[in-house]
Structure 1
């Protein structure tokens, strides 16, 4: 049956998603219109196509038991010089994203995989463009802010044209809203203290 390239992510909802996508395109990132604005849970992963039913069942199970949680974006960050990425920072929801991606990548599950870099949830707004353009992106969105309640995630497939298309959404179950913000969480401390050692997922 061949292979497919999949990704799992939290979509940034409207109107924020389209706003950031258009800004990303405006900064000169040619890939912008093929990548819906998102927070990565599982990075691009090539799998055998016949594993899709098991993957879908696993994602359904994870989502059913996971509670909704608040998400808040504020300001910009970068992985430069290690990786040519500028992103909008997640200042609330890091704990929820980190726990969710751990369950989605459960070592016993069909999407088990090692990450090349420590998991650091973020919303990419520029990737692989000139240093000058990345500086513009970093400055333009320095005061950016958005917030919403994350109520699920989605499975995407990358086509041969490089465009990511949603295969299915996975809404969370009926758990209580409210994973509290953790400004001093280990993930945040790592991001602040390690600097260039923190890399995109």
Structure 2
């Protein structure tokens, strides 16, 4: 999730929804992103985006949470296997860790999240991934591709999270939603 540089209008909140990458992988990838010099490394927890940054009226957050609770209740957990790297260059200056398994589960979850009150058009087709470098010089992006080419991780997705973009530019989890449980915590 990378927020636009424009600040949201008064009375709105910028939110995103994502599958957090669990430890030890999430922290390791975040430290790697930081070591590459990505200034967003500390501001964005390691994740797979389900809903990109979206401005919503502050008064609608309860409705959004109700929607996400309903989505979570109707979804089952699934396994993600991360393997190797990919890039969206030259279309978008992003290097990512690729999903070898679990893309279908992310696609189903993303479609459900982006329905109802969160329905919106996307700039690019949905492609689940874990960003590790964004808007960095080409030589750094090339280094990221090479250094993480052998990266491997596997984990069960049992929840997703609603994040809110703070005035300080940091994305923070607001609430977790447990898959199949019918509630958030």
TM-score higher than 0.5:
yes
Quick one: distance in 2 between partners of 1:7 and 1:19? 22
1:16 paired with 2:25, answer yes
1:171 paired with 2:178, answer yes
Alignment partner of 1:131 out of 125, 129, 138:
138
Pairing of 1:50-199 with structure 2 (within 5 A) = 50-106=59-115, 109-173=116-180
Residue 15 of structure 2: aligned partner: 6
Q: How far 1:155 moved relative to its partner?
A: 0.1
Quick one: distance in 2 between partners of 1:143 and 1:29? 20
Quick one: distance in 2 between partners of 1:77 and 1:85? 9
Residue segments in structure 1 that go unaligned for 5+ positions in a row? 175-201
User: Partner of 1:75: helix, strand, or coil?
Assistant: strand
Quick one: distance in 2 between partners of 1:122 and 1:14? 17
Output the aligned Cα RMSD. Answer: 0.8
Q: How far 1:65 moved relative to its partner?
A: 1.3
User: Partner of 2:117: helix, strand, or coil?
Assistant: coil
Q: How far 1:12 moved relative to its partner?
A: 0.3
Q: How far 1:160 moved relative to its partner?
A: 1.1
Quick one: distance in 1 between partners of 2:126 and 2:45? 20
Q: How far 1:66 moved relative to its partner?
A: 0.5
Q: How far 1:147 moved relative to its partner?
A: 0.3
Query: Structure 1 runs of 4+ off > 2 angstroms?
Result: none
User: Partner of 1:7: helix, strand, or coil?
Assistant: strand
Q: How far 1:86 moved relative to its partner?
A: 0.2
The alignment's TM-score, normalised by the length of structure 2, stands at 0.92
Aligned residues: 172
Flag the structure with higher strand content: 2
The alignment's TM-score, normalised by the length of structure 1, stands at 0.84
Residue 189 of structure 1: aligned partner: none
Residue 27 of structure 1: aligned partner: 36
